[in-house]
Chains A and B, each alone.
Chain A
């Protein structure tokens, strides 16, 4: 279980406990957090669970798989610290992870 902090583009922040093994996207969808859609269900096939992760956390995350960067090309306003939240698996080490959402997903 890890505490994940989801910050909407307008600054609204939601803190939820997400079980280990779930993705950060699933944690958002299951807790009805606005701003993360996850349209394709976590298959790295859309870009609607796009988040920004600040540097201190970005470097602690598992590296991107092939294909995530390609998918991020199709996200709304991708930046250097963009990730697809379906590709971040929650574990104890991520306790306190902050993810910031883009202005919109599509």
Chain B
């Protein structure tokens, strides 16, 4: 069990700055995020898109913003638990016990939900029968490429992930690349490679078509794909891989008994606490009268929430408001003196 002053859920810009605000007032914290890297929507949805409304930064991309926020955290030792999703929350006397899907447990007086629009998960196939094959014959991400050697693999998708894996797996497997339209979006170099491999007969490209049905019992035997003109083709295949991008889902947080409106968590605008003491929601995931889903609003929200976290984590100490420009204590925490 990991004991900490505050657990931050979400490593997007708001979550990262929460860590900063907690650390400069002298609290410990840990960060959990379902993605395998920090940055949240900034890194997953728009790494290259410029943002123009971060105060004092005229223009920066999602990737740059993430890098700057991580740089700002450098003076501190912060544990990131990436690729993990929070599942359970339960009360343990005056603390909260939070469990992740990887079996970690945190014990903390403060849980700060900076979850954006939810955790990113791969978009799955729509036919119902696909569920039973998941992680056996159907994969949405690849952990061990060895299992595909010498087999037939059908890859769905038209973006970088689909194309890169088609190239990689064509070395040792028979590959079908299936996409809903004729155009692929990927690096020009990869597109050329794909066309070359097609000519060599190492990759078979099927467009424009989508998955119609799957046949098989324990393992997949074949799939049927439907072309835009209605024609259906049956393909023998051992594995199906799909790279349709990520979707955001609120997940288990929705079951925690927090007051919610649509897909957001209701908080007060004084310290951004939810209806449960010690559980806070900040950034895009919270709602209160006048809420704006801006990164800058998230920064403001976490500064105020951190003060309440201090009171809960250090009930016997008095919170003192200090400026980073003049406070010796803060400067020491920042490693400046």
Contacts and interface: CB of A to CB of B under 8 A. Distances in A.
Given A40-B41, A45-B41, A45-B46, A73 B248 contact: no
B304 interface: no
B161 to A, nearest CB: 11
| Most chain A Cβ neighbours within 10 Å, of B180, B181, B248, B263 | B180
A45 B183 contact: no
A77 B244 CA distance: 11
Contacts of B49: 43, 45
Nearest to A29: B262
A41 B293 contact: yes
Interface string B242-273: 00111111000000000000010000000000
B45 interface: yes
Given A73-B180, A73-B244, A39 B185 contact: no
Contacts of B157: 73
Interface in A44-101: 45-48, 69-70, 73-74, 76-78, 80
A103 to B, nearest CB: 8
B27 interface: no
A74 B46 contact: no
A40 B44 CA distance: 11
Contacts of A70: 158-159, 185
Contact of B45 (A37, A46, A78): A46
Contacts of B210: 77
Interface residues of A, number: 18
Q: Is the interface of A mostly helix, strand, loop or mixed?
A: loop
Interface in B176-214: 179-181, 183, 185, 210
Interface residues of B, number: 25
B117 A39 contact: yes
A25 to B, nearest CB: 14
A76 B126 contact: yes
A40 B45 contact: yes
Interface in B284-321: 293
A41 B117 CA distance: 11
A23 to B, nearest CB: 15
Interface string B139-174: 000000000000000000111000000000000000
A74 B117 contact: no
A78 B180 CA distance: 8
Contact of B46 (A43, A48, A69): A43
15 contacts: A43-B45, A45-B45, A45-B49, A46-B45, A46-B247, A73-B157, A73-B159, A73-B179, A73-B181, A73-B185, A76-B126, A77-B126, A77-B210, A106-B247, A106-B249
Interface of A: 37, 39-41, 43, 45-48, 69-70, 73-74, 76-78, 80, 106
